[in-house]
Amino acid sequence: MKSLRHLLTLVALLTILPAASAFEGDSVPVPSHVSHESLDRLLQKYVNDRGLVAYAAWKNNETDLAALDAYLTQFAAKPTTPATGNDQAASLINLYNATTIRWIIANYPTASIQALPDSFGTKRHDIGGAKVSLNDIEHGSVRPLLGYRAHAVLVCAARSCPPLQRFAYTPDQLDEQIDTAYRAWLSREDLNRFLPAENKVEISGIFNWFAEDFEKVGGVKKVLPKYAPEKYHDFLAGGDYEITYLPYNWGLNDQGATGEGYSRMRMIWDRILDVITFWN
């Protein structure tokens, strides 16, 4: 009975923790004028047009793995001249995506980033002269800079994430690249569905989790017609439709079969194990 009470407490915590702490983070400084050319080449080589990553091939290529590490090393020291504006935003987006990829490769094969120990909250990455978490990069840095626009470009290695783009973000093209990423995301019918005949849309849970970011620009219904496929523009611009949110698939965004069968129940169990490990 005591064990059952403990398990129920853990499950309850899993429903509380995301709202209470998962979307918090510390600011992360990045140096100005970082070169993103090597990351751009690697993304073109290992990411396909569906945003899936060839993790196995990347892990087995020592040269390209070293190139990824060299790219990330640019962010390790505390910057003497921190980046600002689009320079800062582009570097932080690339840093988040590259760090996530490196974390997956280090633990590959894994069915999900959720199956790994506290992937988002632990300060384990050497950035800006300190240990930094993925949450720090996203919630402490990118969201304050970009607001709702952050959510199409940060890719957390899950199949329901916005598709990883086959390019590195750059300061001079950042606005256009974010628009490209949003349009690619909203054009995927497995990730977002627009159903005029039923007067409803079924969209990613990301729009719900980060509703406050979208409310700052008038709400989700103001954003959807800006980026959705043109054929849905009039329907979405009218705004008179129901919104529901699709289940989130945390299976790994792998080009192979790894992560295909990762279920919601497995995700919940993995998070329970995470909490147990934290308490111990």
Range of the domain at 268: 25-155+256-280
Q: Which residues pair with 194 in a beta bridge?
A: 201
Burial grade of 216 (CB within 10 A; 0-12, 13-18, 19 or more): exposed
Instruction: Check: CB of residue 40 under 8 Å from CB of residue 242.
Output: no
Cβ atoms < 10 Å from Cβ of 128: 22
* pLDDT at position 279: 64
| Residue 265 falls inside a structural domain | yes
Whether residue 92 contacts residue 139, with contact meaning beta carbons closer than 8 Å, is answered with no
pLDDT of residue 276: 76
Residue 108 lies in a domain: yes
Within a domain: 230: no
What pLDDT does 77 receive?
98
Tell me, yes or no, whether 8 lies in a domain.
no
Other beta carbons less than 10 A from residue 207's beta carbon: 21
Q: So what's the pLDDT on residue 280?
A: 62
Is 224:236 a contact under the CB 8 Å cutoff?
yes
Model confidence, pTM: 0.92
In angstroms, the CA 90 to CA 232 distance is: 30
Give the sheet arrangement for strand 200-203, strand by strand: 193-195, 200-203, 242-245
CA 66 to each of CA 72, 73, 102, 145: distance values in angstroms, whole numbers, following the listed order: 10, 10, 11, 30
Tokens of 25: 């983070």
Within a domain: 139:
yes
Token pair in block for residue 215:
């409310």
Residue 40 lies in a domain: yes
Q: What does the pLDDT profile of the chain (280 residues) look like in tens digits? A: 445 455 545 454 444 444 334 789 999 999 999 999 999 999 999 999 999 999 999 999 999 999 999 999 999 999 999 999 999 999 999 999 999 999 999 999 999 999 999 999 999 999 999 999 999 999 999 999 999 999 999 999 999 999 999 999 999 999 999 999 999 999 999 999 999 999 999 999 999 999 999 999 999 999 999 999 999 999 999 999 999 999 999 999 999 999 999 998 998 888 888 777 666 6
Beta bridge mates, 131: 126
Distance of alpha carbon 72 from alpha carbon 43, whole angstroms: 14
Which amino acid belongs to residue 64? D
Q: Give, for 145, the enclosing helix (H) or strand (E).
A: helix 143-146
On whether residue 237 sits in a domain, the answer given is: no
Q: State how many domains the chain has.
A: 1
Cross-strand partners of 195: 200
pLDDT the model gives residue 13: 47
Distance CA 181, CA 187 (A): 10
Burial of 10 (0-12, 13-18, 19+ CB in 10 A): middle
**Nearest CA among 116, 93, 86, 73 for reference residue 28:** 93
Our measurement of the distance from residue 267's CA atom to the centroid of its chain's CA atoms, rounded to an integer in Å, reads 17
Q: Enter the DSSP assignment of 193.
A: E
Domain assignment present for 149: yes
Q: What is the DSSP letter of 139?
A: I
Report which DSSP code applies to 120: T
